[in-house]
Amino acid sequence: MLKLHTKALAVIATAGLFCAASGAANAQTTVQGNVNLTVNNAINITETTPMQFGTFLVVKDIASTEVATLTLSDTGTATPTTTGTPAIFTDISAVAPAARSQGIFGITGAAPTTVINVATSNLADLTCALCTGSDTITLFSVTPATATVTTDGTGAATINVGAVLKTKTGGNQYKDGLYAGTYDLTVNY
């Protein structure tokens, strides 16, 4: 009786091994996972201070080809020059005070400690909307034309912009008024 019982257990064990081998060949479990990412190509940029040259006596050469030039550095210093009379930019801020500043742009929310490319383009001459029979002042250049800035640890950076104005020749003399122009500033990684 004891012998018979032992034999039966052996049969069970064999069957069990067979089951395990069979299961190992086919068993599989699948689950669905998720993967994500965020694209953040946009760079937030704001003109915190518009470029302002101040108040100037501006005379153009309506009879010849003399040209006056006014250079505003990217630190806000205005320097007038001329090729000859009567063309002239003369600073009269002492008698007609006006703010003067380079253009200042602020970048926020960009990648930290990262080089950002800066480019200026689409320069539009300065016009006087309320003047009658005046002429435009040439926005000759904006500096930098191209440059790079590096963001700080918070992803912020500051861009300073200067420009060069030139008087035109011929045509009507400049009238008193506010002259304004535009330019585009583009940033990208």
Residues that bind another protein (CB under 8 A): 1, 4-5, 8, 11-12, 15-20, 22-24, 26-42, 110-112, 114, 188-189
CB 13, min distance to another protein, A: 10
Q: What is the DSSP letter of 110?
A: S
Check whether the bond before 97 is cis (ω within 30° of 0): no
* CB-CB contact of 110 with 155 (8 Å): yes
**16 vs 170, which CB is nearer to another protein?**
16
Min. distance of Cβ 127 from another protein in angstroms? 35
**What contacts 64, CB < 8 A, 6 or more positions away?**
84, 169
CB of 159 to another protein, least distance (A): 18
Minimum distance from residue 106 beta carbon to another protein (Å): 18
What is the distance between the alpha carbons of residues 133 and 172, in angstroms, rounded to a whole number?
7
Pick between residue 23 and residue 133 the one whose CB is nearest to another protein: 23
Closest approach, Cβ 14 to another protein, in A, equals: 9
Residue (43 or 68) nearer to another protein, CB: 43
CA distances from 39 to 111, 114, 118, 152 (A): 12, 16, 21, 20
Residue 10 vs 130, nearer CB to another protein: 10
Query: For residues 18 and 96, which CB has a smaller minimum distance to another protein in the complex?
Result: 18
Q: What angle do CA 184, 79, 162 make, to 5 degrees?
A: 20
